[in-house]
Amino acid sequence: MIVNMHDAKSSLSRLIRKVEDGEEVLIGRNGKPVARLVPYVARPGRRPGRLAGKITVEPDFDQTPPEVIRAFQGSASNDSAFDDPAADDQG
């Protein structure tokens, strides 16, 4: 069901009842839909601490491996996991 903007403003209560009865209502401007009235569905609230004990952080999580630092700084190294194997063949 598409209702123009003017009719929607003057009959909002009727449109809300239709939505409560399960009907979707589109509100249009110049025959083109611009808004949709649908039933409100409440989302469960956030609950702090619900993931407690389910997430672990390794002791070294904030220690960057030297090969990663070298890769970001542009220093090539043979033991780096980020070396380009094709570069070695061009030698």
* Span 4-34, pLDDT tens digits: 999 999 999 999 999 999 999 999 999 899 9
Residue 46 in domain: no
Q: How far apart are CA 13 and CA 27, in angstroms?
A: 14
Report if residue 44 sits inside a domain.
no
- Classify residue 43: in a domain, yes or no: no
**∠ CA 44-45-49, rounded to 5°:** 120
Q: Is the pLDDT of residue 76 over 90?
A: no
Q: Evaluate if residue 64 carries a pLDDT over 80.
A: yes
Residue 85 within a domain: no
DSSP 75: -
Burial of 24 (0-12, 13-18, 19+ CB in 10 A): exposed
pTM score above 0.75: no
Please check whether residue 78 lies inside any domain of the structure: no
For residue 14, being part of any structural domain is answered with yes
Q: Which domain holds residue 18?
A: 2-37
pLDDT at 45: 85
Q: How many structural domains does the chain have?
A: 1
Is 27 within the bounds of a domain? yes
